[in-house]
């Protein structure tokens, strides 16, 4: 097992350098999507994974569970089915083709 010094974790350094803080709008979107997921009877992570899995060209979303509870939660995304109303609600929260994450938009 590799040893990570608490004052210098390569993973933390990578995130500080390459992954800037998300734009404030990201938090607003998460807050707006939580009730949408709840209305479907799933967690937000299940909702997000189900959406990703439905994208054209995606054969399997890459997940990284750290615990068995995470894995069980992620597997629940298999049962999430989207309707036309769900897509309309999503479009109200986030316009299609809109990227607000700095490392996608170059902001």
For 105, phi and psi rounded to 5 degrees?
A: -95, -15
Each of the 107 residues of the chain gets a pLDDT tens digit; together they read: 455 455 555 556 555 555 556 667 778 888 999 999 999 999 999 999 998 888 888 888 888 888 999 999 999 999 999 999 988 888 888 877 766 555 555 54
pLDDT at residue 77, rounded to an integer: 93
pLDDT at residue 6, rounded to an integer: 55
Q: Is the pTM of this model over 0.75?
A: no
Q: Which residues contact 42 (CB under 8 A, 6 or more apart)?
A: 50, 76, 77, 79, 80
Which residue, 7, 9, 8, 22, is CA-closest to 104? 22
């Amino acid at each position: 097992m590799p040893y990570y010094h608490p004052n210098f974790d390569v993973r933390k350094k990578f995130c500080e350098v390459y992954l800037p803080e998300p734009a404030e709008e990201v938090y607003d979107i998460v807050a707006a999507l939580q009730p949408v997921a709840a209305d479907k009877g799933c967690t937000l992570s299940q909702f997000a994974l189900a959406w990703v899995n439905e994208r054209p060209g995606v054969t399997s979303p890459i997940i990284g569970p750290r615990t068995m509870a995470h894995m069980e939660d992620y597997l629940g995304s298999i049962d999430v089915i989207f309707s036309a109303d769900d897509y309309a609600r999503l479009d109200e929260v986030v316009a299609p083709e809109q990227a607000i994450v700095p490392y996608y938009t170059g902001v």
